[in-house]
Structure 1
Amino acid sequence: MTRRTTALFAAVALVPVLALTGCSSDSSGDSAGSAASGGKPRLEISGAFMPQPATDMAGGFLTITNGSGTADKLLSVTSSLSDDVTIHETKNQKMREVKSFDIPANGELKLERGGNHIMFMELKKQPKQGEKIDVELHFEKADPIAVELPVEAATHNPKQH
């Protein structure tokens, strides 16, 4: 079995755990925006977090709100925590890597537990609750946005707080 196939099986096994703990849609967290000039989307990040991982993989969750009339796409995520960071959609309890996520004009993209999310594979270190993980979000139109994901308890569910 290849490393990628093994990682995919492990990631699929993680989906029920993510689904059991709810999803993130609170409005707390770090935020950033891109320049409003030049027709670029105005993006704000909220509710960012990473549950403390138990393996060499982790999920990342946040909401991207687009406060402009210009749609955009999340193309990729980079982080010093892993050289293998991807974005995944979850449909019918099946997870698969995607090339991008749409961020509608005057709308939002939710990356949440049990749904679409950021996937960190082959972690370089094991982050602990209370730490912050630096990530950079890359878009089709907006400038990159740096975000800190606070590491929360493995069972953290923002909807219960």
Structure 2
Amino acid sequence: MTRRTTVLSVAATVALAASVALTGCSSGGDEPALKVSGAFIPQPVSDMAGGFLTITNSGGAADKLTSVTSPLSDDVTIHETKNQKMVEVPSFDIPANGKLTLERGGNHIMFMELKSKPKQGDKVRVELHFEKSDPIEVEVPVEAPHHNPRQH
């Protein structure tokens, strides 16, 4: 092997190794990046309450909201509204570079058999659980019973 062939062979090997390393770094490395905003619970008028919020995913991978826990209730579920009926669901999709909106008249969180009735101005601790992301804890403000930010 000549010196020129050896130099070209080494250069080709280095270029191939660099190409493989760069490909490994960029393939499938995207993760969900979740942020919660607009959370509120209307002051309950019975032994149950609804919860509403928006989860924005600025990451390149989708995730799912799989459950919600809170000291307010041992029975917290997530519901979809279809044909004006609430239906409990196992999860909600949070698309990559998208958002999940839980709002009055639509998909929402249900707190059943409340341990106490929080009043307007109180805050309720809620923990959101996801398929891929770590749980997010939110201090959710209690608003007036008929509060609806979409009407403002």
The interval holding the TM-score normalised by the smaller chain is: 0.7 to 0.9
Q: How big is the shift at 1:148?
A: 1.2
Report the residue type matching 1:152 in the other structure.
E
Pick one of 37, 53, 74 that aligns with 1:83. 74
- Listed as ranges, the gaps of 5+ residues in structure 1 are 1-37
Deviations 1:116-161 (A, max 9, x none): 0000000000100000000000000010000111000011111233
Deviations 1:71-91 (A, max 9, x none): 000000000000000000001
Q: Which residue of 2 aligns with 1:150?
A: 141
Q: How many angstroms apart in 2 are the aligned matches of 1:95 and 1:157?
A: 18
RMSD: 0.9
Pick one of 28, 49, 55 that aligns with 1:58. 49
Query: Are 1:104 and 2:95 counterparts?
Result: yes
Q: How many angstroms apart in 2 are the aligned matches of 1:49 and 1:155?
A: 11
Report the residue type matching 2:57 in the other structure.
N
Report the residue type matching 1:81 in the other structure.
L
Q: How many angstroms apart in 2 are the aligned matches of 1:132 and 1:145?
A: 16
Pick one of 52, 61, 75 that aligns with 1:70. 61
Q: Which residue of 2 aligns with 1:140?
A: 131
Task: Report if the CA contact (8 A) 2:39-2:52 is conserved.
Answer: yes
Q: How many angstroms apart in 1 are the aligned matches of 2:52 and 2:88?
A: 15
Report the residue type matching 2:106 in the other structure.
G
Report the residue type matching 2:150 in the other structure.
K
Q: How many angstroms apart in 1 are the aligned matches of 2:126 and 2:59?
A: 23
Pick one of 86, 89, 114 that aligns with 1:95. 86
Q: How many angstroms apart in 2 are the aligned matches of 1:97 and 1:160?
A: 26
Q: How big is the shift at 1:63?
A: 0.2
- Listed as ranges, the gaps of 5+ residues in structure 2 are 1-28
- 1:3-82 matches, within 5 Å, as 39-82=30-73
TM-score (norm 1): 0.75
| Percent identity of paired positions between Structure 1 and Structure 2 | 77
Q: Which residue of 2 aligns with 1:160?
A: 151
Report the residue type matching 2:92 in the other structure.
F
Return the structure number with greater relative CO, CA threshold 8 A, min gap 6: 1
Pick one of 107, 119, 122 that aligns with 1:116. 107
Q: How many angstroms apart in 2 are the aligned matches of 1:67 and 1:108?
A: 8
